[in-house]
């Protein structure tokens, strides 16, 4: 009996957490407030972009699974590159607004050792998400996370984690969480987050 309760408890936790994301989804909140509790070691600047000093960054938990095109992807395999992870849904208006900027900057920064990865969430089937990527010229892979399990379980408590949709989390070359935005970003804002990490020695 306890074995059957465990998966239900895990599912309930994921549903509750995704519900919390729903409340903040597409809110456009840019006041820069951050959660996590305790000594979080990060600083939130103007525009709601939070950063962590190099020596105080944490490593995300496992972020892997099936992509929208049916392949397997493990973000840990991208260590050595700056990784820009964007949490999005095809139903989200701010996600649509920022998508052309992500498509553009992903192409501009690829030669500099930057890899973009989407985390598609709350799309109950892949069709609308695949159409979204085609419409906006998204050439990088997106993990398919309809129930938000990667979002809930992939980021340690107290770290910079996705708290709204869209959210963008950037990992440094060591695979550690270096920056986060909880609002839609344009090309200039993306470069402001990415370029300092590309320049790090």
What's the angle, vertex CA 151, arms to CA 150 and CA 152, rounded to 5?
A: 90
> How confident is the model at residue 36, as a pLDDT?
38
Residue ranges for the chain with pLDDT beneath 70: 1-47
> How confident is the model at residue 95, as a pLDDT?
98
Summarised one tens digit per residue, pLDDT across range 106-154 is: 999 999 999 999 999 999 999 999 999 999 999 999 999 999 999 999 9
> How confident is the model at residue 20, as a pLDDT?
46
> How confident is the model at residue 158, as a pLDDT?
85
Contact between 36 and 56 under an 8 Å Cβ cutoff? The reply is no
Cα separation, 72 vs 88, whole angstroms:
19
């Amino acid at each position: 009996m306890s074995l059957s309760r465990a998966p239900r408890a895990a599912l309930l936790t994921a549903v509750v957490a995704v519900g919390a994301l729903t409340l903040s989804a597409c809110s456009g909140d840019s006041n820069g407030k951050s959660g996590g509790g305790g000594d979080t070691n990060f600083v939130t600047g103007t525009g709601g972009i939070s950063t962590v000093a190099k020596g105080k960054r944490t490593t995300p938990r496992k972020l892997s699974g099936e992509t929208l095109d049916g392949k397997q992807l493990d973000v840990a395999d991208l260590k050595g590159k700056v990784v820009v992870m964007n949490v999005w849904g095809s139903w989200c208006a701010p996600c649509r607004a920022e998508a052309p900027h992500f498509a553009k900057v992903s192409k501009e920064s690829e030669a500099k050792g930057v890899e973009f990865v989407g985390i598609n969430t709350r799309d109950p089937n892949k069709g609308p998400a695949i159409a979204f990527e085609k419409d906006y010229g998204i050439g990088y892979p997106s993990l398919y996370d309809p129930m938000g399990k990667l979002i809930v379980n992939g980021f340690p408590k107290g770290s910079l984690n996705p708290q709204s949709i869209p959210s963008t989390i950037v990992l440094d070359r060591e695979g550690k969480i270096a920056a986060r935005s909880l609002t839609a970003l344009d090309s200039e804002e993306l470069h402001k987050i990415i370029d300092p990490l590309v320049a790090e020695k």
